[in-house]
Amino acid sequence: MSRGRGPRGFRGPVEKARDRKGTIKRIWLYMEKEKVALVASIICVILATLLGLLGPYLIGIIIDEYIIPKDITGTFKHLFLLAAVYILTAVFTWLQMFMMIRVSLQTIRKLRQDLFDKFQTLSLRFFDKRTHGDLMSRVTNDIDSLNNALSQSVIQILSSVLTVLGIMIAMFSLNWMLAIATFLIIPLIIFSTKKLITYSSSHFIKRQRDLGELNGFVEESISGSEVITLFGKEEKINHQFSEVNERLRQSATDADMVSGFLGPVNNFINNIGLSFVIAIGAIMTVNDMASIGIIAAFVTYSRQFFRPINQLSNLLNMFQSAIAGAERVFEIMDEAPDLIDKENAIVVDSFKGDVEFSHVHFAYEEGKPILKNIDFQVKSGEKIALVGPTGSGKTTIINLLMRFYDVTSGEIKVDGHDIRDYQISGLRKKIGIVLQDTYLFSGTIMENIRYGRLEATDKEVIAAAKLASAHQYIKHLPEGYHTVIMSGGTNLSQGQRQLLAIARAILANSDILVLDEATSSIDTNTEVEIQKGIHRLTKGKTSFVIAHRLKTIENADRILVIHHGEIIESGTHQELLQKKGFYFNMYESQFNMREKTNSKAL
């Protein structure tokens, strides 16, 4: 169900986390670009933490100096002060979260943009080895996982650390013996947290991998739904989805169950610690070693002390998922493009149209050659037809000319220069192509045709449509040229989509034209009209035509017969028929088949 050319379906190995510290450092490089909001958020964290620490201290003073002496006026006065402290704490806590969400969203926006920009630099070879759904998962799920961690966790980690340090100082200043008693359970919390996080890390990585696989499977299933229905494979595809879905459920369950132990385990340890503090505090109060207010302050501080420690455990746990997702994103961003411009690449304004393939060899995978010693020359203005059985390498020749891939050996020249010497974007702009697999974007018909040349006027778009014989059916659509096309053009027939793709290529008015099975889904009558338009379009231009209907390329200046990746015959239509070789047999086979079809129709 995968689309495009090349060895689709191969999926590279999914690696586990390799450099967690390096990943965090790279995330920070994105975050620091929002320094103002980040500094403002940190200031709010500090103020909220200090005010939060002031609350328990005031509670101790109110109990010892006002409640026990039964000073109602002083009690209410300080209670209002305590309320003001907690209100300000809430305000600064909200501000810190607001600022951090801004930092997070700006960071994620830039990261997602960089990832998308990276996709535009990668060759088809890269996309051939990965499912579209897995790549989409990295842009959406993995980045969203990081977004959640940044917006909810980074500032909370800072707040938790500051709170712990502040409470430690406050506790020691109040009573060092109770402080030591409180801190005795910290090693136990650290030990349990470290063990659980280490164990859960691999589960989170597996969950992200399985999620990407599920997205890839769903994307392919939806794209190939017509084929699935046609061959009655609904039950099989449901069974396969069930297996993939079950793997995700299992890995997600393992990750969540292990991480879910953190809260209950740490709460249990915290309650033990709090009980220990209350017991020692009671003994000290009885022996006049501490006041009731200090004990009350300590109990409040103890709850505040263990809460950020628990939060740190949960936040670190959340980071396992975020870092696993970030590593998958950075894995793509670190992918070295195999097609890059040379330092002094030639910027081309126009091509004369001379093309030369010189001893070209090519393989998608090492050891599995697709093209072998392809050698031919095309003069400017010539029309060259490439014919041969399916899988013989015709489309691969075009892919190499467009520099979707680079040759394994040999060279391809346009106007006397190796195409690797040209700027890639300039080279492709000067070669118009209509692919066998037509793709249309969501938008109007007018916008899709104009994609060939964005500055074209409406008149030029309509003229291109008429030349491609698309105008007739377009004007009968409900909104004409303003009819909205669904993504992929699924609300149009394959033939209609190909007509629009041809119109798009006509509008581009490129110096070299390539038609890769461009009329394969169009009826014979329409094809005759298109051939007239194509003949006018290609007049004076170098053009390459790939066609299975040999009748359509009889007027080609030269026909190259490709078989098993090699040119086995070359010549005009009449010359090849006279040789009575491979081309002759292909032509006779199609002619006889057409005769039989016409006889049955009669």
DSSP assignment of 307-324 equals HHHHHHHHHHHHHHHHHH
Average pLDDT rounded to a whole number, residues 282-287 = 79
DSSP state of 437: S
* Residue where a domain stops, chosen among 333, 360, 385: 333
In a 3-state reduction of DSSP, which class is residue 231?
coil
Work out the number of other CB atoms within 10 angstroms of the CB of residue 537: 22
- Name which residue leads in pLDDT, 140 or 262: 140
φ/ψ of residue 350, rounded to 5: -160, 160
pLDDT of 12 reads 34
Listed residues 299, 333, 367: the one ending a domain: 333
Integer CA distances (angstroms), 512 to 256, 427, 497, in order: 57, 10, 22
Residue 15, pLDDT score: 38
Residue 314 has pLDDT above 80, yes or no: no
Name the most confidently modeled range: 9-13, 25-29, 271-275, 304-308. Answer: 25-29
**Three-state SS at 20:** helix
Tell me how far apart the alpha carbons of residues 3 and 221 are, in angstroms, rounded to a whole number: 12
Q: What is the pLDDT of residue 481?
A: 92
Looking at residue 266, which CATH number applies to its domain? 1.20.1560.10
* Tokens standing for residue 164: 């712990």
Same domain, 298 and 367: no
**Calpha distance 5→194 (Å, rounded):** 47
CATH number of the CATH domain containing 578? 3.40.50.300
Q: Are residues 214 and 252 in the same domain?
A: yes
Both 147 and 225 in a single domain? Answer: yes
Q: Are residues 236 and 316 in the same domain?
A: yes
Q: Residues for the chain: how many in total?
A: 602
Which pLDDT belongs to residue 567? Answer: 94
Residues 336-349: pLDDT tens digits? 877 788 888 898 88
pLDDT at 486 over 70: yes
What is the residue whose two structure tokens read 């169900």?
Answer: 1
Return the amino acid letter for 240.
Answer: Q
The CA angle 536-541-542, to the nearest 5 degrees, is 125
Confidence of residue 227 (pLDDT cuts 50, 70, 90): confident
Instruction: Determine whether 137 is exposed, middle or buried from the number of CB atoms within 10 Å of its CB (0-12, 13-18, 19+).
Output: buried
Largest CA distance in the chain: 120
Mean pLDDT of 205-226: 77
Identify whether residues 254 and 390 lie together within a single domain. no
Position 602 pLDDT exceeds 70: no
Of residues 96 and 524, more confidently modeled:
96
Whether residue 446 is contained in a domain is answered as no
pLDDT for the residue numbered 8: 32
DSSP string, 247-280: HHHHHHHHHHHHHHTHHHHHHHHHHHHHHHHHHH
pLDDT at 601 over 60: no
Residue 289's Cβ-side half-sphere holds a number of Cα atoms within 13 Å equal to 11
Average pLDDT over the chain reads 81
Residue 289 structure tokens: 């070693």
533: pLDDT confidence band, cut at 50, 70 and 90? Answer: low
Q: Residue 334 CA to chain centroid, in angstroms?
A: 14
575: domain range? 351-429+549-602
Q: Is 440 a member of any domain?
A: no
Joined tokens for residue 384: 């060259």
Query: Do 171 and 246 sit in the same domain of this protein?
Result: yes
Percent of the residues in the chain that have a pLDDT greater than 70, as a whole number:
88
Residue 565 banded pLDDT, cuts 50, 70, 90: very high
pLDDT in the model for residue 559: 94
pLDDT the model gives residue 122: 81
Question: Residues 470-483: what's their mean pLDDT?
Answer: 88
Average pLDDT over residues 416-441: 85
Residue 156: closest CA among 319, 283, 320, 328: 319
438 — phi, psi (to 5°)?
-80, 135
Residue-level pLDDT at 34: 84
Determine the Cα–Cα distance for residues 458 and 456; give it in Å rounded to an integer. 7
Residue 362: pLDDT band (50, 70, 90) is: very high
**Are residues 104 and 192 located together in one domain of the fold?**
yes
What radius of gyration do the chain's Cα atoms show?
A: 35
Q: Are residues 383 and 418 in the same domain?
A: yes
Could you tell me if 275 and 403 lie in one domain? no
Are 233 and 370 within one domain? Answer: no
How many domains are contained in the chain?
2
Domain presence at residue 185: yes
Residue ending a domain, among 285, 302, 333, is 333
Element (H, E) at 169: helix 155-174
Q: What are phi and psi of 377, to 5 degrees?
A: -125, 145
| Interaxial angle between packed helices 35-62 and 292-333, expressed in degrees from 0 to 180 and rounded to the nearest 10 | 160
For residue 454, being part of any structural domain is answered with no
Q: Which residue type sits at 434?
A: V
Average pLDDT over residues 25-52: 86
pLDDT of residue 30 exceeding 50, the answer is yes
By the 8 A CB rule, do 385 and 556 touch?
A: yes
| pLDDT tens-digit map of 286-310 | 777 777 777 777 777 777 776 776 6
The verdict on pTM exceeding 0.85 is no
Q: Higher-confidence residue: 480 or 596?
A: 480
- Look at 479 and 188; give whichever has higher pLDDT: 479
For residues 40-45, give the mean pLDDT.
88
Section 480-492 average pLDDT: 80
Same domain, 386 and 277: no
Residue 451 inside a domain? The answer is no
- Are residues 107 and 287 in contact, defined by beta-carbon separation less than 8 angstroms? no
258 and 171 in one domain? yes
What DSSP assignment string belongs to 545-586? EE-S-GGGGTT-SEEEEEETTEEEEEE-HHHHHHHTSHHHHH
User: For strand 512-516 and strand 542-546, is the pairing parallel, antiparallel, or unpaired?
Assistant: parallel
Lowest-confidence segment of 154-158, 406-410, 518-522 by average pLDDT: 518-522
* 19 DSSP assignment: -
Residue at 183 is within a domain: yes
The predicted-structure confidence for 124-146, as pLDDT tens digits, reads as follows 778 877 777 778 878 888 888 88
Cα 67-68-73 angle, rounded to 5 deg: 35
Q: What is the 3-state secondary structure (H, E, C) of 450-499?
A: HCCCCCCCHHHHHHHHHHCCCHHHHCCCCCHHHCEECHHHCCCCHHHHHH
CB atoms inside a 10 Å sphere around CB 375: 13
In-domain check, residue 130: yes
Q: Is 6 among the domain residues? A: no
d(CA 294, CA 559): 97
429-430-433 Cα angle (round to 5)? 80
The predicted model gives 536-546 an average pLDDT of 82
Distance CA 347, CA 370 (A): 30
pLDDT of residue 13: 33
Residue 134 contacts residue 213 (beta carbons within 8 Å):
yes
